[in-house]
């Protein structure tokens, strides 16, 4: 039987103290930051992992000083490699980091763009103090995306530092307990000071485009006018639902496309004038509400 030869390495790991009772799959996922969770789970299922000489389950709880032996193919790593890219850190503690993403930066690598993304930058930033002589002294922190922003959208994002925190924040997002506000500069003068846009959004497969669609999903955006200029309006947007490209689609659908959103009729500009300006949620450790704000970018008005 022919096939591509694997490059298995046999590694021995002693579980460090101070982690509490952590699941084996979570520990491996944190330790091998460039490998997918599916691949690591397959290693456990196919008896490529031993804990204290026994073959464990993926949910086995580890203790300090447990001895792990693993046969792993590191060439199966993803493209989320660390890169020393400047970041605007708004807040950080042992559980989360809040960043102000610049316009033009992808959030995560794709098959076309494997470098220069927010995750590449965070993988470096969160682990730089942990590397001595090129080796990780503790399990590698793998940044967990709780939500996303388009490449051209700037603003606030919260990133989890562990799988457990990622799960907790993900649940808050699903339950719609994460408050998000955006500021946008749109073409034209909006008449009403505030209002709600409620139009269904769906995907047109043949065009590979998301837009207003009769049989699409219910989509709701609230808006409030902040200021009016000669031929543009500065508005605050609240996405009550979270559909793909919702804010861009809804603004364009009522005749006020976002400046820079040329695809949907917006005036050509050096950037998309959409910025995530406010983010509020329950902190995953203290369970108290935290709130972060980011100023309107000056680049909105450098016309």
Catalytic sites, residue numbers: 150
Other CB atoms within a 10 A radius of the CB of residue 133 amount to: 5
Q: Where are the beta strands (DSSP E) in 7-140?
A: 8-14, 22-23, 49-51, 61-62, 67-73, 89-92, 96-101, 131-132, 135-136
Classify strands 49-51 and 67-73 as parallel, antiparallel or unpaired: antiparallel
CA distance 93 to 248: 33
**Could you tell me which of 191, 144, 142, 135 has the C-alpha nearest to residue 31?**
142
DSSP H helices, the chain, are: 24-31, 37-45, 118-127, 163-174, 246-253
CA distance 187 to 169: 35
> If you compute the radius of gyration of the chain from its CA atoms, what whole number of angstroms results?
23
90's torsion region: left (phi>0), alpha (psi -120 to 50) or beta? alpha
CA distance 284 to 303: 41
CA distance 76 to 82: 16
Characterize 1-23 residue by residue with b for buried, 16 or more Cβ atoms within 10 angstroms of its Cβ, and e for exposed. Answer: eeeeeeeeeeeeeebeeebeebb
DSSP 8-class letter at 34: T
Nearest 5°: the CA angle 41, 168, 147 is 90
């Amino acid at each position: 039987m022919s096939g591509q030869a694997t490059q298995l390495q046999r590694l021995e790991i002693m579980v460090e103290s101070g982690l509490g009772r952590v699941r084996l799959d979570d520990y491996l996922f944190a330790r091998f930051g460039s490998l997918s969770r599916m691949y690591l789970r397959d290693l456990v299922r196919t008896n490529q992992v031993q804990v204290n000489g026994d073959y464990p389950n993926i949910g086995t709880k580890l203790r300090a000083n447990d001895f792990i032996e693993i046969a792993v193919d590191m060439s199966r790593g993803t493209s989320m490699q660390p890169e020393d890219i400047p970041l605007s850190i708004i807040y950080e503690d042992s559980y989360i980091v809040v960043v102000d993403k610049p316009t033009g930066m992808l959030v995560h690598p794709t098959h076309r763009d494997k470098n220069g993304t927010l995750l590449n930058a965070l993988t470096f930033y969160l682990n730089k103090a942990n590397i001595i002589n090129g080796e990780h002294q503790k399990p590698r922190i793998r940044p967990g995306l709780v939500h996303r922003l388009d490449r051209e959208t700037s603003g606030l994002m919260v990133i989890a530092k562990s799988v457990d925190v990622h799960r907790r924040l993900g649940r808050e997002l699903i339950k719609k307990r994460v408050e998000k506000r955006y500021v946008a500069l749109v073409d034209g003068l909006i008449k009403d000071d505030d209002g709600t846009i409620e139009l269904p959004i769906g995907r047109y497969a043949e065009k590979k485009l998301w837009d207003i669609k009769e049989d699409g999903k219910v989509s709701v955006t609230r808006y409030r006018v902040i200021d009016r200029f000669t031929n543009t309006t500065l508005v605050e947007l609240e996405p009550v639902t979270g559909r793909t490209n919702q804010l861009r689609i809804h603004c364009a659908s009522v005749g006020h496309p976002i400046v820079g959103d040329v695809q949907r009729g917006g005036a050509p500009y050096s950037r998309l004038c959409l910025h995530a300006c406010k983010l509020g949620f329950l902190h995953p450790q203290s369970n108290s509400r935290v709130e972060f704000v980011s100023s309107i970018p000056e680049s909105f008005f450098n016309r």
